[in-house]
């Protein structure tokens, strides 16, 4: 916040015109005058929050004592800064400052968002003109009003069982529901910080998938070839599922003007911290999802009732949220991430709940396809829950097990309900993956309309859906699952379709190398990701290295295999070992990965030609 303090004989103003961001005022405030006062010209800046109020009050108090006045005139003055906060936040902080000053001073405040003619007479003594720059305690980010509301508003926690009994969470018997208990404890205590490094971090580094990038902001990672392969396969799979469902893929910018009247209002309705970037003298925020671009696109569309439900989809590579430092760890919580994001327009609440059910099923199919265990959390505004019990019953019939419910008496956000599929990791921390929300605000805020059967314009409802959740968080869940399984005595591994190397050929000696290369080429032609350990090493060392790389199938080729035209296959999944033909092996792998996307091997096929990334 920047302030210019002028000890004045008088300050007077009169409104000349109204801007799009003007606050609503009474006629009595269209002009005003105060004599013998301290005129405080104020600009609220990006990064300002409630903590600047006390600091600004103290600065004004100090100057008012020096010039011996108890009359303060607050005057919004944007020209003091080129780093202005969103209008809603600016008005809020100005009003908060006004209220605090009223406890001690006679106060007048000029209205925000109007062009005004004004006159000021400066007294001209050495202390009559002073300026101050006040920074918030946090700085460097925008904290939305929704995020503050989330911390302020009290919610009630329940367990909803398949019989639709809503049981207070502290009265529920969690016997045989250990994972649900962990999710409940995590959510109710709201403990997000991580006190120790989760196991998936060691896995992601040792497998050369992804690593921290010291040259960037924390929460922005470097991805190695094998990690990129897994990301792209996950991205392709979720995109294909949404396109099959009827989503239309679009692409939108990653940054938007923070002073855009529609966008600035939405910023304060979403519970997230924002990155701010500069372009010349203008300020922009980095998107945290595909919402902004898709809203503006829908605003410009001509939509008929025949077009509904209308689904726009974007794979946002990347989205940005300035998460707090203590919560950043590995792949679980990042500041830059890939979010598959779909927004659906529906004409009525009945249509919206039907879409919700279908997108819920799509999310279940995604989670089950990855083999992930998950717990369900559903968040309701109480009035919506009470009015839509039939919908709740339909939803619970799909889940058929107890779920965690958070109930709000008032609506802190733009949605009336949402669900999340939560993965509980080895440290008992929960992370949301799939999610769908029913939004009742933003079509009106962004003037998104459709024409009904009678040709009249109406506002639809909107669903926000991420069928998979953040792609990086899916890999986190897979690696954590591998660790949890290893504690049960199983070898850690990834699903076959996501394994960077699906099979590795190990010639016993140099004399088997040429034949082994022919086997590799035959498997490659079938679309299998296969490499060969052609290094001059003992077989035992090659096998151990393949185990370290989590290779699902190890193919050992010695004299007997060449003589009998067979392959000796070692399976990582069950530690079995058997002899089979090339054709049988190919058919087995291709049947397992049937229907899944594929990509070529991300590294040189010969291990002797590979550089180490760590």
Is 291 annotated to bind a ligand? Reply is yes
- Per residue, the 3-state secondary structure of 511-525, as one string, reads HHHHHHHHHHHHHHH
3-state SS class at 386: helix
Residues 6+ away with beta carbon under 8 Å from 227: 204, 208, 209, 210, 475
What is the Cα–Cα distance from 470 to 235, expressed in whole angstroms? 10
The angle at the Cα of 437, spanning 90 to 329, to the nearest 5 degrees, equals 75
Q: Contact, 182 vs 424, CB < 8 A?
A: yes
Q: Which two tokens stand for residue 112?
A: 């925000």
Query: Count of CB atoms within 10 A of residue 33's CB?
Result: 14
Residue 97 token pair: 């400052």
Task: Please state, in angstroms and rounded to a whole number, the distance separating the CA atoms of residues 113 and 201.
Answer: 49
Residue 115 burial (CB count, 10 A):
10
Half-sphere exposure (CA, 13 Å, Cβ side) for 200? Answer: 26
By the 10 Å C-beta count (0-12 exposed, 13-18 middle, 19+ buried), 406 is classed as: middle
Contact indicator for 82, 118 with CB cutoff of 8 Å: no
If DSSP codes are grouped into helix, strand and coil, which group holds residue 168?
A: strand
- C-alpha 464/C-alpha 183 separation (Å) is 23
**Beta strands at 31-43 and 71-76: parallel, antiparallel or unpaired:** parallel
Contact indicator for 316, 289 with CB cutoff of 8 Å = yes
Q: What is the three-class DSSP state of 535?
A: coil
Are residues 422 and 379 in contact, defined by beta-carbon separation less than 8 angstroms? no
Q: Are strands 503-507 and 114-122 parallel, antiparallel or unpaired?
A: unpaired
Sign of CA dihedral 55, 58, 62, 63: positive
Quote the strand ranges of 253-309, DSSP E.
255-257, 273-274, 276-279, 282-286
343 is in an annotated binding site: yes
Q: Are strands 375-381 and 403-408 parallel, antiparallel or unpaired?
A: parallel
Point out the annotated binding site. Answer: 291, 343, 464
Point out the annotated binding site for Zn(2+). Answer: 291, 343, 464
């Amino acid at each position: 916040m920047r302030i210019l303090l002028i000890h004045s004989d008088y300050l007077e103003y009169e409104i000349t015109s109204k801007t799009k961001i003007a606050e609503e005022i009474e006629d009595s405030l269209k002009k005003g005058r105060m004599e013998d006062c301290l005129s405080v010209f104020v600009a609220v800046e990006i990064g300002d929050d409630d903590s600047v109020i006390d600091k600004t009050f103290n600065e004004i108090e100090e100057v008012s004592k020096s010039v011996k006045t108890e009359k303060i005139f607050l005057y919004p003055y944007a020209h003091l800064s080129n780093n202005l906060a969103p209008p809603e936040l600016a008005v809020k902080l100005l009003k908060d400052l006004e209220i605090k000053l009223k406890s001690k001073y006679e106060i007048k405040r000029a209205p925000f968002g109007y062009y005004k003619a004004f006159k000021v007479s400066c007294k001209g003594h050495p202390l009559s003109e002073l300026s101050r720059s006040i920074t918030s305690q946090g700085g460097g980010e925008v904290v939305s009003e929704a995020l503050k509301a989330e911390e302020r508003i009290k919610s009630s926690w329940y367990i909803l069982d398949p019989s639709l009994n809503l049981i207070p969470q502290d009265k529920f018997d969690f016997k045989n529901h250990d994972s649900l208990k962990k999710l409940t404890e995590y959510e109710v205590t709201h403990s997000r910080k991580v006190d120790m490094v989760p196991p998936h971090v060691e896995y992601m580094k040792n497998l050369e998938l992804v690593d921290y990038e010291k040259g960037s902001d924390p929460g922005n990672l470097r991805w190695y070839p094998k990690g990129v392969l897994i990301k792209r396969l996950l991205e392709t799979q979720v995109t294909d599922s949404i396109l099959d469902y009827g989503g239309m893929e679009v692409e939108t910018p990653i940054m938007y003007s923070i002073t855009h009247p529609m966008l600035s209002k939405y910023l304060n309705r979403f519970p997230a911290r924002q990155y701010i970037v500069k372009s010349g003298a203008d300020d922009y925020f980095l998107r945290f999802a595909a919402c902004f671009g898709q809203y503006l696109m829908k605003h410009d569309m001509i939509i008929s009732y025949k077009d509904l439900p209308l689904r726009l989809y974007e794979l946002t590579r990347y989205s940005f949220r300035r998460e707090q430092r203590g919560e950043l760890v590995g792949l679980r919580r990042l500041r830059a991430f890939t979010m598959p994001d779909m927004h659906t327009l529906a004409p009525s609440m009945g249509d919206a709940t039907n879409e919700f059910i279908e997108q819920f099923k799509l999310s279940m199919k995604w989670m089950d396809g990855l083999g992930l265990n998950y717990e369900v959390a559903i968040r309701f505004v109480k009035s919506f829950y009470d009015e839509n019990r039939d919908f709740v019953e339909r939803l619970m019939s799909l889940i058929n097990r107890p779920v965690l419910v958070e109930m709000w008496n008032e609506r802190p956000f733009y949605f009336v309900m949402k669900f999340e599929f939560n993965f509980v990791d080895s440290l008992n921390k929960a992370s949301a993956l799939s999610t769908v929300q029913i939004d009742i605000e933003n079509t009106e805020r962004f003037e998104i309309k459709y024409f009904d059967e009678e040709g009249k314009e109406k506002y639809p409802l909107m669903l926000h859906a991420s069928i998979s959740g953040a792609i990086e968080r899916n890999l986190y869940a897979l690696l954590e699952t591998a660790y949890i399984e290893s504690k049960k005595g199983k070898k850690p591994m990834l699903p076959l379709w996501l394994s960077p190397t699906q099979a590795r050929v190990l010639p016993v000696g140099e004399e088997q190398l040429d034949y082994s290369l022919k086997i590799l080429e035959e498997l490659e032609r079938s679309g299998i990701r296969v490499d060969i350990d052609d290094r001059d090493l003992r077989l035992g060392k090659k096998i151990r290295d393949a185990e370290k790389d989590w290779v699902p199938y190890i193919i050992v080729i010695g004299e007997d295999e060449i003589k009998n035209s067979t392959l000796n296959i070692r399976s990582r999944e069950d530690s079995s070992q058997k002899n089979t033909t090339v054709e049988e092996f190919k058919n087995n792998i291709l049947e397992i990965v049937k229907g899944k996307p594929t990509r070529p091997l991300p590294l040189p096929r010969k291990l002797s030609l590979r550089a180490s990334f760590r």
